[in-house]
Each structure stands twice: as C-alpha cells, then as structure tokens.
Amino acid sequence: MGYQVTSPVHRYLKQQQELFGDNLYLSSPDNIFAGVSQGENDKIDSLSDFNAEICHCQKCPLGKTRTNFVFGVGDPKANLMLVGEAPGEQEDMQGEPFVGRAGKLLDKILRAIGKYRDNDVYIANVIKCRPPNNRDPLPSEVEKCEPYLQRQIDLVKPKLIVALGRVAGKTLLKQDIPLKDMRGQTYDYSGTPLRVTYHPAALLRNPGLKAPAWEDFKLIRDFVNN
C-alpha cells in the first residue's frame, strides 16, 4: 500500500474496497459514522492532516538532526492539553511525546486524577524535534515551532492547557520568571486558560516537589471536570 490509512473515511473506503471490490456502494453518512459525530471526525481528520502537512518541516536546523518529528498524541477532543518543552531521546526515537522515564511518571500522575493519555488528554511539546543533547530550545527554534502548537490548540480546543516545566511555561507566558512564581495562577493563552506546573523530570530529580505538584494536579482535575 502506497499511503497510510489514517482517517475514518479512508478506513471505511478501504474496508468497502476489500469487501466489495472497486464498486462503491454508498450508505448514508449517519450509518457510516455511527457513534462518532461529524465534529469529532473533523477534528481527528484535521489533526492528522495537519501532522501530514508539517511532519517534514525543515524550518530550523533541528529538522536535520531529528529521527522523528514528534507531533503530539492523545484525544483530539481532549479537555486537558499538556505541553512539554521538546522531545528527548526516547521521544525522538519513538515519535511520541513523553514516553521516557518522565513520561511514565506523567502517565501515573494522570491516572491519579482519573485521566489517560488517549482519553480526554492531548500531549504535545512546544518544539517538535529533539534539540541535540537535550539542550533548551533556542528562541529561533521556538519562533518557528510555536505556531504549530497554536494550531494544535485551535484544533483540539481544550478547556485547559497545562505547561509542564519552566521552559514550556516561559514560552507560553512570554515571561522568564522562576517556575515557583508561574504556579498557582490561571493565565490566558490566546483565549484558552493556562496553568503551569513542574516538569515530571524535575519530580524525578527532586521527589520533594511531588507534594506541591500533586496540589497543582488536583486543581487541574477540578478545573477540567467542572
């Protein structure tokens, strides 16, 4: 097969072709998409179309050094969108955000507030390609990549964005202040509420931060569930 079958429409047509050959027997759209609203289908299609559109990006030098472009993962209609800084080594290798040690801890924290990475949560990074040796993203890289994140936010339309760590917080808030001063408030990111909490890698380095992070996540849970 020369292309990937990603959208429900493609999958449906492929299945029909396998069952009936090249003759197309159309049923009403209500039957085709039973259980999935057209709005949800549009969101799934738009996100995967957008990924296909930008995944070969060469707007900054990280395009040359990446293994995989790490677009984002999760529920296209999530109420909660988590934004990290940039892919690390594991994420670069697997093409998915937060799959390394920090990601495993993030999954545990999400479970503790009754959420899962593919159910009511969408996860992305400010930068879609791994900076060499995991250095902080450069302002020039952020400038090129942040519009991609903005478009993902426009498509998902989450109720709340949570920036994970100082670098993501600084980028989204456009303020370079200590992380402890970014926490504890709800900001506005182009019309979407935004909160900032610790990066899970910081919790691995300093387990003493787990208690305040848990306070943040309880507020996050209440915000998105109410």
Contact positions vs ligand URA (CB under 6 A): 84-88, 91, 97-98, 102-103, 125
Q: Which is nearer to ligand URA, 171 or 192 (CB)?
A: 171
Comparison of 86 and 179: residue with beta carbon closer to ligand URA: 86
Q: Indicate the residue among 74 and 97 with the shorter CB distance to ligand URA.
A: 97
Nearer to ligand URA by Cβ, of 70 and 155: the residue is: 70
Q: In whole angstroms, how far apart are CA 30 and each of 26, 36, 40, 42, 77?
A: 11, 9, 13, 14, 20
Residue with Cβ nearer ligand URA (69 or 98):
98
Nearest residue to the partner ligand URA, using Cβ: 84
Q: How far is the CB of 211 from ligand URA (least distance, A)?
A: 21
- The secondary element (H helix, E strand) that includes residue 188 is strand 187-189
User: How far is 27 from 16, CA to CA, in rounded Å?
Assistant: 11
74 token code pair: 């999760």
Closest to ligand URA by CB, 72 or 158: 72
Task: Give me the least distance between CB of 91 and ligand URA, in Å please.
Answer: 4
b/e burial code for range 75-109 (CB count within 10 A of at least 16 → b)? bbbbbbbbbbbbbbebbbeebbbbbbebbebbbeb
How far apart are the C-alpha atoms of 213 and 100, rounded to whole Å? 19
Quote the least distance from Cβ 83 to ligand URA, whole Å.
8
For residue 72, the minimal CB distance to ligand URA (Å) is 9
To ligand URA, the closest distance from the beta carbon of 42 in angstroms equals 26
Alpha carbon distance 181, 212 (integer Å): 13
**Nearest approach, Cβ of residue 52 and ligand URA (Å):** 20
Contacts of range 131-135, beta carbons closer than 8 Å, 24 or more positions apart: 131/62, 131/86, 132/65, 134/86, 134/88, 134/89
